[in-house]
Amino acid sequence: MKLVMDACTAILLAKSSVIETLADTRELIMTESVYNEIIKGKEKMLEDSFLIENLKIDKKIKLTNDNKNITKKLMKDFNMGEGEASTISSGIGKKCIIATDNLQGRKASKVNNLSLVGSPELIMDLFKTKRINLDKTKIALKKIKEEGWFENNLIERILEDLENERS
């Protein structure tokens, strides 16, 4: 299944060192505006920007267009940025999963009946399908907790569940 990612989710997965593994298991897609937003980080020498650029060059991330009218309406109706709105817009009417950790993006996805996933679920999916080991999973989850804006106890609960499964 195609995974259409917004900038925040792609950056978090890059910073947590799992986006390459995810790209080997899923078809990763982002809109031009999301890609351009990420690539601006090269000016600040951000590693995640270079990594995502290389994945695009290697054709492991594909770019897609969004519906500009729907994007503008989503931006207005849900008070969100262009990248998140274009991600949702590009998924409407298509068989894909929207990958966003953005609260407004998640609301817009639900309102539009889109399949939805966030970076914690993607990391856990890589673990459950044995694409990454337990140590890599814990490190990745801790990194997205440190870098992202998740509910205070969300990542702790996931890490606790991992420990309980292991016992």
pLDDT in tens, 32-60: 999 999 999 999 999 999 999 999 999 99
Q: Is the pLDDT of residue 31 over 80?
A: yes
Q: In Å, how far are 33, 40, 57, 62, 75 from 97, measured between CA atoms?
A: 18, 25, 23, 14, 20
**Which DSSP category does 112 fall into?**
T
CA gyration radius for the chain?
15
Digit-coded pLDDT (tens) for 122-142: 999 999 999 999 999 999 999
* Residues constituting the chain: 167
- DSSP string computed for 44-103: GT-HHHHHHHHHHHTTSEEEE---HHHHHHHHHHHT--HHHHHHHHHHTTSSEEEE---H
**Whole-structure pTM value:** 0.93
Structure confidence at residue 61 as a pLDDT band (50, 70, 90): very high
Q: Is the pLDDT of residue 152 over 90?
A: no
Helix axes 103-111, 82-91, angle to 10 degrees: 30
What mean pLDDT is predicted for residues 12-17?
97
Which residues are within 8 A (CB) of 101 and not within 5 positions of it... i.e. 6 or more apart?
Answer: 6, 8, 9, 12, 118, 119, 148, 149, 150
What mean pLDDT is predicted for residues 96-121?
96
pLDDT at 166: 66
What mean pLDDT is predicted for residues 58-76?
96
Strand, helix or coil at 38? helix
What mean pLDDT is predicted for residues 50-75?
97
pLDDT at 8: 96
* 157 token code pair: 């609960």
Q: Quickly count: other Cβ atoms within 10 Å of residue 57's Cβ.
A: 9
